[in-house]
Structure 1
């Protein structure tokens, strides 16, 4: 009689472990079709976008979804290819913490900041829903 109860208890523990939410959610530019994204308070949200600042282009934050997110620091640029070549492309990464329930908009444009009146080369726009 004890063995079936232990088996049932062990099964329930395994199910509850599988149902837990991931501690972080990552999104890249080619995954923008997944928007809107559902998040949970306490999760980290990581955004990675291709970038090449040697060309003068930068991702500019237009809306940082402050209704639901808190920034964990500035943009971090890295060159994953480690090619060491001048002008090679890399990745810009932003890290956020989901701090409030609600809905927010994360919007960035890829442009040369000094070029006034020029349409941005790229846009990233995603609705975030936190609970």
Structure 2
């Protein structure tokens, strides 16, 4: 009787042990698969994050990721100022709430202007995935250019403009009399010869919106006949003011006494003291 009972007991024990081992094996497989799936999912997410960042914003450097802005359109505006000024209005968008304009590089070669608008965003920032539009007004350096057709490329978007006449003072050709001389920043520190009783024009860039203006001093043999500031004209269809866009100041100066004369100028805010760091202009005038 005891032998039969023992056999049943051992048979029951073996079955129970087998079932427990099978349950443990199955449970281990489930946990392992779950961990593998989680790890795979994490690797995929991380990889997507890295790829997405690099492809959207370009190279990394320091704490920022740098790239180029998406420009959708450009408008080339000719300002009816003196001298002629050309500005490019570029419109586009930034891919997220953290990306901002980094810098604008404006280079020219021959009859082509190449402008690059770069962007930057914090490398580890969590950003809102909403695009932001931008508008940038970019002045072109066209003073001194000859008449002709010119092209503009802003991040791959191109346009063109035409200068119908030379955008340079006519006196540079040597065909004008001394009375018609036009002096600019390029003549700073030079000397001119002028007949007594004749006049010349002094034209300097000025931007009163920043508070700065030119203060001129003339020696006794020179008289300031007139002076007028020419602001940049507001482009048609553009309601917002051209922030930071300056014009030019034009003076007509007459020689009234023979001898060595001089024009000096300092570019400063009228209410500020002279520090020695200001921009200066000097022109020596020999009146004959």
Counterpart for residue 71 of structure 1 = 224
Counterpart for residue 171 of structure 2 = none
Distance 1:20 1:78 in 2: 24
Shift of the 53–97 alpha-carbon distance from structure 1 to 2, 3 Å rule, reads same
Counterpart for residue 122 of structure 1 = 279
Say if 2:245 is the partner of 1:88. Answer: yes
Distance 2:250 2:188 in 1: 15
Say if 2:261 is the partner of 1:104. Answer: yes
Counterpart for residue 36 of structure 1 = 191
Higher relative contact order (CA 8 A, sep 6+): 1
Equivalent position SS for 2:188: helix
Distance 2:214 2:285 in 1: 19
Equivalent position SS for 2:181: strand
Say if 2:203 is the partner of 1:51. Answer: no
Q: Which has the higher helix share?
A: 2
Match of 2:183 among 22, 27, 41: 27
Give how far 1:86 is off: 4.4
- The runs of 5 or more residues in structure 2 that have no matched partner are 1-174, 235-240
Shift of the 113–40 alpha-carbon distance from structure 1 to 2, 3 Å rule, reads same
Give how far 1:97 is off: 1.5
Report if the CA contact (8 A) 1:47-1:94 is conserved: yes
- The runs of 5 or more residues in structure 1 that have no matched partner are 1-18
Equivalent position SS for 2:242: coil
Aligned residues: 108
Give how far 1:90 is off: 0.5
Counterpart for residue 51 of structure 2 = none
TM-score relative to the length of structure 2: 0.35
